[in-house]
Copies of this chain bind each other. A is one copy, B any other.
Amino acid sequence: MSAIEGLTGELRRLPGIGTRTALRLSYHLVKGPKEDIRRLARALAEVAERIRPCSRCGNYCSSDLCSVCRDPSRDRSMICVVEEAYEVGAIERAGRYGGLFHVLGGRLSPLDGVGPDELDIGGLLKRVRDPAEVPKEVILATNASVEGEATAVYLESLLRPFPVRVTRLARGIPVGSDLEYVDGTTIAEALAGRREVREDA
């Protein structure tokens, strides 16, 4: 049984997976075809060997520059700053952004021991200063949490000396949601950010 216990122990280290789920997953894998286990092991090994952060934006990729940074059709005048690399995917799936990204690798969170030095802020400033990149706009797409807001405020203060437009994603009512279930702070933000219905008028 020790191999199953070993696997259960490894699975339990993953976020959101407790002892029972880890056990259930282990036994599911053991019960299924061996090939399924081997495929998962290979997929993990592949990620361990091949995935690294993009040397420019910090997005994950399997070469020196990520596919976004290498894509000549992307708009190089915009940098969208996100906390984590998986948020690049969330924005890409929305299909409305054609610029570049910059991954901070987290958010300012003094209680968790995350200060400016733990984030890739130096890389962002280097890109803003870089005459080869010359971004016109930096979109601060950190999360709408207390830490995400604090990070955005801090970045804005650092970016102020540069001739670059600094924006933040709009706050408001999520599409498809009922007002009844939207919290007061969001409604207040949505009111403050209200827009003319006929903007073209």
Contacts and interface: CB of A to CB of B under 8 A. Distances in A.
Tell me whether chain A's interface is mostly helix, strand or loop, or mixed.
helix
A25 B21 contact: no
Stoichiometry, copies per complex: 2
Contacts of A41: 41-42, 44-45, 48
Interface string A80-117: 00001110010000000000000001000000000000
A2 B48 CA distance: 13
Contact of A44 (B15, B27, B37, B84): B37
A90 to B, nearest CB: 9
* Interface bin, chain A: 35 or more
Interface of A: 1-4, 6-7, 9-11, 13-17, 21, 23-31, 34, 36-48, 50-51, 60-62, 66-67, 84-86, 89, 105
